[in-house]
Structure 1
Amino acid sequence: MFSCARCGNKVSDGPSCNSCKRQFDFPCAGISETNFRKLGERRSAWRCIDCKNAQSPASTSTSTSNSNPDIAVRLNEVQATLAHITEQLVPLASLIEDVKTIKIEISNLKSSIEFAHETASQLSVTVKSLDTRILQVEEHTNLIHTLGADLNKFKEDLKEREQWARANNVEIKGVPVKKSENLYDIVDHISKAIQCPIRKEDINYIARVPSLKAESQKSIIMALNNRYCKEEFVAAARKHKELTISQLGYADEGHVYVNDHLTLFNKSLLKKAKDLAKAKNFKYVWIKHCKILARKSDTSPTFRIKSEKDLLKFS
């Protein structure tokens, strides 16, 4: 028996973080017991959500490692590659300063040659040496530009993969946290309210996830086995815009929101897009298949927003 590092409950089994050495029960670890067993030898390298966040600015994906362990391994490989490229970019600043210094030296040397012919031979050798150094620096600079482009490509690929790993996930907000709650029953109440049945066997994983807000505001993340089932569930929920807590059997007041499970990056990008749409009089900004889409009017073309560069399309 041990105490879970997150909730403090006494449990007999659960994953242990390879980085911080803390041990969690399966719900707080964000991974089901079945999927954790599937990791095999990779269980010894498992890390908790906090340690993953500390390593990369990319948001954690509670259900990524649960619903597809191979994707989590691939993401770690991409992150390792990014770290290697970043290390190669470190010399860029010093190389640029070397170029500036060398150019100044050449200018001074050429001026000296005009006034000191007796030292022309020695200066010529020095200039040739400096010219060689400049060529080497320029070659390194070109390499750095190439590495920079590769790094940006890896970052975009990582963001796409992280969001793709959440494609079967639904994020449910607004349901108060209660002791001894049954998340399957909550989903059953929601499915009946929106008239879109979800069977227990359709659910691969369901859990509350950590929130920056109060504990009572934790979202529910539900990973479904079928992506089409997930899309139907989200679409049905959006048709019922007035879905309330009272419809789920709670005495509290408030609305329940059912959406695609976006990464932290895409959530931030969505907020910026909505703010710009309001300022630029754009009529539509919405999410479909975990993609951020926008359109100025009913007759305007639709465009996708994948990065902050795409925000320039709001004009």
Structure 2
Amino acid sequence: MAHRCATCARLIRVGEAIKCTGDCGQSFHTACAAERFIYDLTRPDSIREFRCDPCAMHRSSITPRSPPHAYDSLAADQQCTSNITLDDIMRQLQLSTASTNDIKNQLQSTSAAANSKLELIQGTLVGVKHDIVELRSHISHLASTQEALANRISYLEQHSENAKIETAEMKRDNIQLKAQIADISNRISRGDNTHPTSGLRQSAQFSECCTDVIISGVHLCVAESPLAIATTVFDALGVSELVIDILSVRKMARKSAVAGPSNLPDRNHATKQSFVVSLKSARVRDFIIKKKREKKSLSVSDVFAIDSPGFIFVNELLPSDLFNLLLKTKAKAKAASYKYIWSNFGQILVRRDYGQPIIEINTEEDLSKLN
């Protein structure tokens, strides 16, 4: 049966074994016994009478497991034990100290390696935390970019819708102009000298030369600048992007307030003020007026967030001659029971009731049509 060395715990091959004849009866490699124990293995019969240090120093009362012939050499063992000196003990202590130092060095080396790995892990964690912060910042940037793109898309969609509406209006006006031109051509071919083109010329001249709108009904308690008031009204109409098309805004003196039909003085006219807004083009003017007609009504309290009655009006600014003609038309139409009187692109229009034909008033002579 193979044995293991009691010192190094490795298997002992044949020819390498030496067995303690003392109480322990353990087996050792010859080299391990010579290195570890102080027993002199150079003496004759040393291997046959070998005892480990504990068995050599203490005699056990337990029945030894060693062979019977070990008792014959008891005297020799005692003599060998008596040969142990202080130097032998010190040497053994030095060997133990050296072994302890080796273990200590191994532990220190292991601890240093563990500390190095720990520092590496901590450095990795710091890098991961930095990457997480960068990712969060990147995500926040992407979110803000997405929101800006969404706002831009909404803005473009709104402008696209406005462009579609404006294009439809222009197509409709073009059809009307074509019809008027065809009517003029027919009258000319018939030799009609009643000058039917006066209304067309008047509308065209108005569209080309007048790009102003008048904002009226503003309460005197609104102390903002004229431009700020116009901007607020444009916001209420949903055309805030057209503020950049404003050339100038001026407050209109009450004595020269000339406006469209919705700007006629009311009972509280003394507490109201009006503003003339000059725009870059007639197309901008017409689009703003169309938006106001879609809104139908704008209350003062909704536009300026003040507790004041009344409404804000936005109309095309008529020249004085057209305005005077409008006043006369209103008086004549009211007497003749006409319900609708309005101006459109400098053209005065009258209708008795909804669905009935529209009557154009271009001169005072046309008032005779209102019977």
Of structures 1 and 2, the one with the larger relative CO (CA 8 A, separation 6+) is: 1
TM-based fold match above 0.5? no
TM range (shorter): 0.3 to 0.5
TM-score normalised by L of structure 1: 0.44
TM-score normalised by L of structure 2: 0.38
Bigger Cα Rg: 2
